[in-house]
């Protein structure tokens, strides 16, 4: 079983839709969690960190469920510009032993 798993999609949704992605991780020692956005042929860029209490940034909401070992990303009122691949990242350890592991990414296509 891969350490960090995501549904590759693609998720094909109309503008204005709400879409949710999940990401599961296998290592219970994981300490920090992130969502990155990657546009086609570009580098990943941090979208948001995921905090234990859940956090929101505009139309984006991230949640963490440690008991079930998954993180989620909810996008409300989807825009055409949200079309991209969304990568979840999980970090084990701390400080110098920090080892980041990425999921394979979930592709989102928002159509008019």
Partner 1 sequence: NAGVTQTPKFRVLKTGQSMTLLCAQDMNHEYMYWYRQDPGMGLRLIHYSVGEGTTAKGEVPDGYNVSRLKKQNFLLGLESAAPSQTSVYFCASRAGLGADTQYFGPGTRLTVL
Beta strand pairing call for 11-14 and 106-111? parallel
24 binds partner 1, rule: CB under 8 A = no
Distance CA 91, CA 44 (A): 16
Stretch binding partner 1 (CB under 8 A), from 16-24, 42-50, 57-65, 66-74 = 42-50
CB-count exposure of residue 40 (10 Å: 0-12, 13-18, 19+): exposed
CB of residue 104 vs partner 1: minimum separation in angstroms?
A: 4
Tell me which of 22, 27, 32, 55 binds partner 1, using CB under 8 A. Answer: 32
43 binds partner 1, rule: CB under 8 A = yes
Distance CA 31, CA 91 (A): 6
- Taking phi first (over 0 means left), then psi (-120 to 50 degrees means alpha), and beta for anything else, what does residue 96 get? alpha
99 binds partner 1, rule: CB under 8 A = yes
60 binds partner 1, rule: CB under 8 A = no
Judged by the rule CB under 8 A, the positions of this chain that interact with partner 1 are 8, 32, 34, 42-46, 49, 87, 89, 91, 94-96, 98-105
């Amino acid at each position: 079983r891969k350490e960090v798993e995501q549904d590759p999609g693609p998720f094909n949704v109309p503008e204005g839709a709400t879409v949710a992605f999940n990401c599961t991780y296998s290592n219970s020692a994981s300490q920090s969690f992130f969502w990155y956005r990657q546009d086609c042929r570009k580098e990943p860029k941090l979208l948001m960190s995921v905090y234990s209490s859940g956090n929101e940034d505009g139309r984006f909401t991230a949640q963490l469920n440690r008991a079930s070992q998954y993180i989620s990303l909810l996008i409300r009122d989807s825009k055409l510009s949200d079309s991209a691949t969304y990568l979840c990242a999980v970090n084990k350890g701390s400080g110098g032993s920090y080892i980041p592991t990425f999921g394979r990414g979930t592709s989102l296509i928002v159509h008019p």
